[in-house]
Amino acid sequence: MTGCIGYHFEHPVIVPCCHLVILSSCHGIIPSVQSASTKTYCVGLNAQLLSGQRSYRSAGIHRHILGLLAHLPDADPRFEYTVFTSETAPLPDRSFRVERTSLATERSLIRILWEQIVQPSVARHCHALHGLAYVSPILTRKPAVVTVHDLSFLRNPERFRFANRTYLRLFTALSTRRASRVIAVSQNTKEDVMTVYGLPAEKVEVVYSGLDPQFRRPGRQAIEEFREARGLPDRFILYLGTIEPRKNLSTLIRAYAKVRPAGIKLVCAGGRGWMYQDVFQTVEELRLSREVIFPGFLPDDDLPLWYSAADVFVYPSAYEGFGLPVIEAMACGAPTITTNASSLPEAAGEAGLLVPPDDSAALADTLARLLGDPSLQSDLAARGPAQAARFSWADAARRTANVYAHALGLSA
């Protein structure tokens, strides 16, 4: 069976959507019978960007894919799923078929070859394909759905490495134009996609990211025990996200230097992405090496405690497709400052303070005002959980399943 080259299945599985029973050895093929009244449709999910690494690769898109996979099986009984991913990728324990490749798809060139050459072969049993991050195979006749998380590689090309932006520029354009439907993770991203690629509004569906239920404020004792166990300062401002240019960390560090709040540290948490040298140079130039702390990549299980322990959460990004850390922080009751750029006002709603990106003076003024106003802190902390609760993975899964129905010509 040629489609099994470089692959293994997690366990013997029944695949009613393609009328076959396929054994994990990839040798035995036995016909299966299925009535039209119980017909289901198989959707192949490209999850090669899932990562088992403790690094920036396990941040935004990785977490979006995991959240969606955990809820898709419950969204619509007409659909079953085959998840295509790497050998080391973590997956939720749900009822879908998993095909893991032994190819090193964490390497960009190999992933491109898998997406465009291998995927059409191993996904022959699927009725539709969903590229969960920007790209779907070009040379296939199957209905395709592609999720676009943002167009930062076009909006801020100077903040991307040449190879990354060239790949995304080419294949996102080809994939979105060929796709039956495109999913955008915010209204701002939808507008970008329509403007840049000339797509009609009815082809692009907004499906917001969701909030994992773990993001809620724990009790005071748990927060204090966590603070003591991690050796955290009594008071600190928190940034959490990948350290990369468009996150605007240098702007935050300059704003912190202008305020220099007594006894309050700045914690910049997250894995190092690319082109991050400016961040550390800024700390050195401003002589803040004792005030600014870089704890590195943080495990998911610890995130609610980090958000809850912070006095203020600041997300100074210049461009985001959605901004998961904003709703996570608000769900944990952290008073939040972010920017008025791209999709971030959609995430923050009326529960966060907004400043222009790249304006360190405006951010410094807002930071000083918030730190000096306990009633404003309490007001934002109270508003945050209600705003964050507007975003759920169950809703995201239902909307995604409706997109599959449209792509296959079914009723939603």
User: What per-residue confidence (pLDDT) applies to 13?
Assistant: 39
User: Is it the case that residue 14 has pLDDT exceeding 70?
Assistant: no
**End-to-end Cα spacing for the chain:** 35
Strand order in the sheet with 20-22: 13-15, 20-22, 29-31
The answer to whether position 215 is within a domain reads no
State the pLDDT confidence band at 312, using cuts at 50, 70 and 90. Answer: very high
User: What per-residue confidence (pLDDT) applies to 24?
Assistant: 32
As a whole-number percent, the residues of the chain with pLDDT over 70 amount to 88
User: What per-residue confidence (pLDDT) applies to 108?
Assistant: 86
Q: Does 170 share its domain with 101?
A: yes
User: Is it the case that residue 5 has pLDDT exceeding 60?
Assistant: no
Structure tokens given for 259: 């305020």
Radius of gyration from C-alpha coordinates of the chain: 22
User: Is it the case that residue 111 has pLDDT exceeding 70?
Assistant: yes
Q: Does 285 share its domain with 183?
A: no
User: Is it the case that residue 21 has pLDDT exceeding 80?
Assistant: no
User: Is it the case that residue 348 has pLDDT exceeding 70?
Assistant: yes
Q: Does 232 share its domain with 361?
A: yes
Q: What is the 3-state secondary structure (H, E, C) of the chain?
A: CHHHCCEEECCCEEEHHHCEEECCCCCCEEECCCCHHHCCEEEEEECCCCCCCCCHHHCHHHHHHHHHHHHHHHCCCCEEEEEEEECCCCCCCCCCEEEEECCCCCCHHHHHHHHHHHHHHHCCCCCEEEECCCCCCCCCCCCEEEEECCCHHHHCHHHCCHHHHHHHHHHHHHHHHHCCEEEECCHHHHHHHHHHHCCCHHHEEECCCCCCCCCCCCCHHHHHHHHHHHCCCCCEEEEECCECHHHCHHHHHHHHHHHCCCCCEEEEECCECCCCHHHHHHHHHCCCCCCEEEEECCCHHHHHHHHHHCCEEEECCCCCCCCHHHHHHHHCCCCEEEECCCCHHHHHCCCCEEECCCCHHHHHHHHHHHHCCHHHHHHHHHHHHHHHCCCCHHHHHHHHHHHHHHHCCCCC
Q: Does 228 share its domain with 116?
A: no
State the pLDDT confidence band at 271, using cuts at 50, 70 and 90. Answer: confident
User: Is it the case that residue 400 has pLDDT exceeding 80?
Assistant: yes
Q: Does 280 share its domain with 305?
A: yes
pLDDT digit string (tens) for 220-237?
Answer: 999 999 999 999 999 999
Contact 116, 123 (CB under 8 A): no
- Which range of residues forms the domain containing residue 131? 2-210+393-407
State the pLDDT confidence band at 19, using cuts at 50, 70 and 90. Answer: very low
The answer to whether position 412 is within a domain reads no
For 399, phi then psi, to 5°, come to: -65, -35
Q: What is the dihedral of CA 188, 61, 74, 211, to 10 degrees?
A: -70
State the pLDDT confidence band at 361, using cuts at 50, 70 and 90. Answer: very high
Question: Strands 144-148 and 336-339, how do they pair?
Answer: unpaired
User: What per-residue confidence (pLDDT) applies to 209?
Assistant: 96
User: What per-residue confidence (pLDDT) applies to 10?
Assistant: 53
Distance CA 73, CA 81 (A): 8
Q: What is the reported pTM?
A: 0.85
Distance CA 304, CA 226 (A): 11
Q: Does 177 share its domain with 240?
A: no
Overall average pLDDT of the 19-40 stretch: 41
The mean pLDDT value of the chain amounts to 88
Q: What is the dihedral of CA 358, 188, 273, 160, to 10 degrees?
A: -80
Total of domains in the chain? 2
State the pLDDT confidence band at 128, using cuts at 50, 70 and 90. Answer: very high
User: Is it the case that residue 219 has pLDDT exceeding 50?
Assistant: yes
User: What per-residue confidence (pLDDT) applies to 384?
Assistant: 98
Distance CA 171, CA 305 (A): 39
Q: Does 363 share its domain with 401?
A: no
Q: Does 203 share its domain with 249?
A: no
pLDDT digit string (tens) for 49-75?
Answer: 997 665 445 567 888 999 999 999 999
User: Is it the case that residue 99 has pLDDT exceeding 90?
Assistant: yes
User: Is it the case that residue 136 has pLDDT exceeding 90?
Assistant: yes
As a whole-number percent, the residues of the chain with pLDDT over 90 amount to 75
The answer to whether position 299 is within a domain reads yes
Contact 73, 96 (CB under 8 A): yes
CATH code of residue 295: 3.40.50.2000
The answer to whether position 35 is within a domain reads yes
Lowest mean pLDDT among 42-46, 259-263, 326-330: 259-263
The answer to whether position 40 is within a domain reads yes
Distance CA 383, CA 348 (A): 10
Structure tokens given for 4: 């099994």
The answer to whether position 114 is within a domain reads yes
Distance CA 230, CA 242 (A): 20
Q: Does 375 share its domain with 298?
A: yes
Question: 206 - beta bridge partners?
Answer: 184
Distance CA 188, CA 206 (A): 9
Kindly report the length of the chain: 412
Q: Does 146 share its domain with 200?
A: yes
Q: Does 294 share its domain with 345?
A: yes
Contact 318, 246 (CB under 8 A): yes
State the pLDDT confidence band at 389, using cuts at 50, 70 and 90. Answer: very high
Q: Is 93 exposed, middle or buried (0-12, 13-18, 19+ CB in 10 A)?
A: exposed
Q: Which of 372, 379, 295 is nearest to 336 (CA)?
A: 379
The answer to whether position 379 is within a domain reads yes
Q: Does 35 share its domain with 61?
A: yes
